[in-house]
Structure 1
Amino acid sequence: MSRRTAMIAISPTTSGQWGMITAGQARGLGVSRQDLKRLIDDGTLVVADQATRVYRLAGAPEDPERDPLRAAWLQLGGAKPWHERTAGIPDAVISHRSAAHLRGLGDLIPHEHEFFTAKRLRPRRTDIKLRVRSHLGPDSWELWDGLPTRTVPAIIDDLLADGEDESAVAQVVWDALNLGLLHRDELDVIAASHAAAYGHPDSGTFAQLLAGDGPTR
């Protein structure tokens, strides 16, 4: 296959995946390993962050904040195309700190790429944290910037269930309320589930603390 033919084959996929493609997707499009190697050797494709066998088009617009997470998500899907992975219940949904950071909520820094996955996967990377959950409710995730991501109420619930610092979660709540991404009745339900674990016998007080004037940045 010529370089031009290989580029024509992968272009529709890369254009819908932030300029990226996995080796498995390329093979599914008829691009052999040898053809793919040529594109890598001549600099047309470069390795995307630390994602093994995920490549991005050289010269495609880069987003240093989001590209590593995008590449990690693509790596988890192997040869499956984006549209297949996002139809129905996704096989990997961005969660916890990664989801909050992606949506610009709070100040929690993700030290790993965090996902809920439908089954156990072995990405062979130390910077990916997977939690297996065989069923995710359809109202607990949504597409955000093209990535399956936990909804804002679910993100807050996940962070509290993980025992994150109360003031850090309060900043996430504060941002979400101010952006109109969270309703107070949703917060009340979440607070009721975690108040005791955080030492607040009164869930209403806990919700009030989380929704207060917000921690000082």
Structure 2
Amino acid sequence: MAALSPTMSAQWGMITPGQAREAGVSRQDFKRLVDDGTLMAADQATQVYRLSGAPEDPERDPLRAAWLQLGGAKSWHERTTGTPDAVVSHRSAAHLRGLGDLIPHDHEFYTAKRLRPRRTDVKIRVRSHLAPSGWELWDGLPTRTVPAIVEDLLADGEDESAVAQVVRDALSLGLLHRDALTSIAAPHAAAYGHTDPEVFARLLTGERPTQ
């Protein structure tokens, strides 16, 4: 446990078997920790374990575990230094930040290369380069910034009223600027049936367009 603690302390009390081996813990010793209840499965869909008794967050832990699973043996520090290898995106990012009421049906990520996690509840979009301005650490997870989340949702064709709720929440929290919204919304206005990008941006904020 002394060998595992530095890794787990940075990862919400969680660890992967690959990370344990990197820390010098054998498969047999790791299995003993699981068998005696020192470690327990963090999420049944992943090969990720948590320290028994560590504080749990049922709302966020499944997303955290999915992110850790994608990294295999690499540590949190390795994966968040420089350009991250997996960034929380779309509905998952909005939900993580408490914006809007879109329910994520999958754990959504951008990854630098194609990954095959062998599970049906992870949705991966490959993007070889993410601009540094397009992500930031949020609750310890590399996550799309709020303007980028809005852009992703619009590009995905999410329901206009649902995106509008995300926008309004972000504006009220000071996480999105009105001027930035206009430029974000403009390329998607026609797809949503609006000929005037400015009118579309106003609708997303809840303002009534001027006649």
TM-score normalised by the chain length of structure 1 = 0.94
Residue 134 in structure 1 maps to residue 143 in structure 2: no
Other-structure match for 1:207: 201
> In structure 2, do the counterparts of structure 1 residues 46 and 213 end up closer, same or farther at CA, with 3 Å as the change threshold?
farther
C-alpha separation in 2, matches of 1:51 and 1:19: 17
Other-structure match for 2:12: 18
C-alpha separation in 2, matches of 1:50 and 1:135: 31
- Secondary structure of the equivalent of 1:56? strand
Offset at 1:47? 1.0
Offset at 1:50? 3.0
Offset at 1:52? 2.7
Other-structure match for 1:92: 86
C-alpha separation in 1, matches of 2:104 and 2:75: 26
Match of 1:151 among 128, 139, 145: 145
Amino acid at match of 2:165: Q
Q: Which runs of 5+ in 1 are unaligned?
A: 1-6
- Secondary structure of the equivalent of 2:132? coil
Other-structure match for 2:175: 181
Other-structure match for 1:101: 95
- Secondary structure of the equivalent of 1:53? coil
Q: Is the 8 A contact 1:76 1:92 kept in 2?
A: yes
The alignment of Structure 1 onto Structure 2 pairs a total of residues equal to 208
C-alpha separation in 2, matches of 1:174 and 1:134: 31
Q: Which runs of 5+ in 2 are unaligned?
A: none
TM-score normalised by the chain length of structure 2 = 0.97
C-alpha separation in 2, matches of 1:11 and 1:51: 23
Offset at 1:12? 1.0
C-alpha separation in 2, matches of 1:37 and 1:183: 50
C-alpha separation in 2, matches of 1:26 and 1:160: 40
Offset at 1:51? 4.1
Residue 119 in structure 1 maps to residue 113 in structure 2: yes
- Secondary structure of the equivalent of 1:110? coil
Aligned-pair Cα RMSD in Å: 1.0
Residue 31 in structure 1 maps to residue 40 in structure 2: no
C-alpha separation in 2, matches of 1:204 and 1:102: 29
Offset at 1:28? 0.2
Amino acid at match of 2:47: R
Other-structure match for 1:56: 50
Q: Percent identity?
A: 81
